[in-house]
């Protein structure tokens, strides 16, 4: 697999679908050949690699993982703080809530003894931001539209700009 060359501003070119890749190519392009923040990128990559191994155990081999976010760029103004992952789940996949829930980003979480409350809880110590996506056309199209969006340095979506993202098969 060969990912296309990044654009001048460090993005994958927009595509009609995610670009297929494997973990070796992902590490090569977005850690080893990154122009900045290699240590931070290596940490995010290590968490992503372990996360996908765990996901394979709980959602099944052959599941598609769409990967996006600042990690899938060569932006130079800030280190990526996580990798965004959408696990594209077939409707017939037998999922166990106990196995899958710890793999997902959760919102508005509270715990007792001691009392803890957070607006957002991400797996892998916050190094992965993960979601389940039903493998249905409307859901895939919605995520494709969202993950093809380009954000500026302040996190605001840039109207009319599009980028690519990648897919790894577990």
Domain ranges of the chain: 19-169
Give 29's DSSP letter: I
Exposure string for 4-28, b = 16+ CB within 10 A, e = fewer: eebeeebbbeeeeebbebeeebbbe
Q: Which of 56, 2, 50 is nearest to 25 (CA)?
A: 2
41: its two tokens: 């990128």
Q: Which tens digit of pLDDT belongs to each residue from 75-132?
A: 888 899 999 999 999 888 878 878 888 888 887 767 777 877 877 778 898 899 999 9
The whole-angstrom separation of Cα 30 and Cα 82 is 12
Chosen CATH of 19-169 out of 3.30.2310, 1.10.287, 3.40.50, 3.30.460:
3.30.460
Structure confidence by residue, pLDDT tens digits, 47-75 = 999 999 999 998 888 899 999 999 999 98
Distance CA 6, CA 15 (A): 12
- Joined together, the tokens standing for residue 9 give 């501003």
pLDDT (0 to 100) of residue 122? 86
Secondary structure class of 156 (helix, strand, coil): coil
The residue assigned the tokens 């995520």 is 143
Give the per-residue pLDDT at 127: 93
As a whole number of angstroms, the distance between CA 162 and CA 59 comes to 30
Q: Does this model's pTM top 0.85?
A: yes
DSSP E strand stretches across 18-140 = 19-20, 64-68, 83-89, 106-111, 116-121, 128-134
CA distance 31 to 71: 9
């Amino acid at each position: 697999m060969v990912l296309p060359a990044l654009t001048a501003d460090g993005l994958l070119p927009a595509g009609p679908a995610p670009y297929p890749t494997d973990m070796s190519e992902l590490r090569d392009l977005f850690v080893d050949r990154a122009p900045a923040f290699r240590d931070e990128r290596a940490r995010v990559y290590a968490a992503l690699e372990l996360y996908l191994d765990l996901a394979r155990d709980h959602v099944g081999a052959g599941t598609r993982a769409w990967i996006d976010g600042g990690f899938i760029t060569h932006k130079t103004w800030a280190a990526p703080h996580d990798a965004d992952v959408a696990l594209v789940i077939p409707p017939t996949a037998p999922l166990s809530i106990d196995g899958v829930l710890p793999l997902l980003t959760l919102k508005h979480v509270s715990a007792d003894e001691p009392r803890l409350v957070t607006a957002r809880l991400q797996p892998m110590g916050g190094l992965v931001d993960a979601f389940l996506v039903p493998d249905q056309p409307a859901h895939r199209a919605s995520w494709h539209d969202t993950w093809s969006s380009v954000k500026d340095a302040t996190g605001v979506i840039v109207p009319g700009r599009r980028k690519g993202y990648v897919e790894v098969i577990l």
